[in-house]
Amino acid sequence: MNGSIDPHHGRLFIMGGAAGPGLLARFVELAGGAAARIVVIATASAEPDAAAAAHAAQMSGAGSVRALRIVTRADANAPGVEPVLRAATGVFFTGGDQERITSVIGGTATDSLLQELVSEGDLILAGTSAGAAMMSATMITGGESQRITAGSVRTGPGLEFLPGVLIDQHFGERGRLNRLLSAVARYPHELGLGIDEDTAILTEGDCFEVLGSGAVTVVDAGTATDIQVPPSGPIALAGATIHVLPAGYTFHLPGRRPVAGTPAAERERAA
């Protein structure tokens, strides 16, 4: 257990898809570099063995990288899982379909153990694309409508590693701000996070830091003074707040407040 980590959310490394070598190297480094023992879980993928192998090949700087094959709930409850995860310093969830992750792993021994190991700071949990979406309390499961309506987004519960947020991925690349706006208009309790490709958030304590080449768009409907979500037709959302944050910015989750600089600088400022 790493005593320097605030266990509030544990360490989560949440990527918007298409992570380049820089982000993957950073994950390996955070997991321990040459001493890292990384486990790749490709449950989201329709071809889990190929997906796991492709990701493992990109983490050559790690001490060890292995795939953990979980494609059924029986796999997720198998006794062999526990020693593999307990030995890991980093776990990486690949992309694919986020509902495969939640339906196969949700409520299983793997789910419980990951929650424990992450909250204790025993490992860093990373996910890209579908592996990012499943981190949130509420995940977007579909909807590519061009308009901002109640029906233009579908949501479902995620695995809640990062509560209070709703994560969308491939964000700029797929023009998904409309569906994120629809989602937070319906659920203004959730902070909307849109993560671009080759971009990540790294949680530390109550904050997350933005890393990578793109930006994280934060939509906060908590400030909205008027929200109307009719069963059909366009949504009204007046007075929401939007932040576009590239690398070098930190976001303070309880305060819903962005800060220029790293979490370390933010701690100094707050002290």
Contact residues: a second copy, CB under 8 A: 146-148, 172-178, 181, 185, 196, 213-215, 217, 219, 223, 226, 228, 233-249, 258, 260
189 is catalytic: no
DSSP state of 248: T
Measured from the CB of residue 207, what is the shortest distance to a second copy in angstroms? 14
160 is catalytic: no
Give CA–CA dist 11/157, Å, rounded.
Answer: 20
Q: Which residues contact 24 (CB under 8 A, 6 or more apart)?
A: 58, 59
Measured from the CB of residue 125, what is the shortest distance to a second copy in angstroms? 25
Q: Which is nearer to a second copy, 54 or 229 (CB)?
A: 229
Measured from the CB of residue 147, what is the shortest distance to a second copy in angstroms? 5
Measured from the CB of residue 128, what is the shortest distance to a second copy in angstroms? 18
Give CA–CA dist 79/110, Å, rounded.
Answer: 10
Burial (0-12, 13-18, 19+ Cβ within 10 Å), 24: buried
Measured from the CB of residue 212, what is the shortest distance to a second copy in angstroms? 9
Which of 136, 152, 170, 266 is flagged as catalytic? 170
Give CA–CA dist 81/140, Å, rounded.
Answer: 28
Q: Please give the span between the terminal C-alpha atoms of the chain, in angstroms, as a whole number.
A: 25
204 is catalytic: no
Q: Which is nearer to a second copy, 95 or 258 (CB)?
A: 258
Exposure class string for 173-209: b at 16+ Cβ within 10 A, else e:
eeebbbbbbbbbbbbbebbbbbbbbbbbbbbbbebbb
Contact 195, 15 (CB under 8 A): yes
Which of 9, 99, 129, 152 is flagged as catalytic? 129
Q: Shortest CA distance to 134 belongs to which of 109, 115, 113?
A: 115
Contact 149, 180 (CB under 8 A): no
Q: Which is nearer to a second copy, 86 or 269 (CB)?
A: 269
Q: Which is nearer to a second copy, 134 or 201 (CB)?
A: 201
Which of 45, 136, 182, 197 is flagged as catalytic? 197
Q: Which is nearer to a second copy, 68 or 245 (CB)?
A: 245
DSSP state of 79: T
Give CA–CA dist 84/268, Å, rounded.
Answer: 37
Measured from the CB of residue 213, what is the shortest distance to a second copy in angstroms? 8
Q: Which is nearer to a second copy, 90 or 258 (CB)?
A: 258
Judged by DSSP in three states, 158 sits in: coil
The residues carrying an active-site annotation are: 129, 170, 197
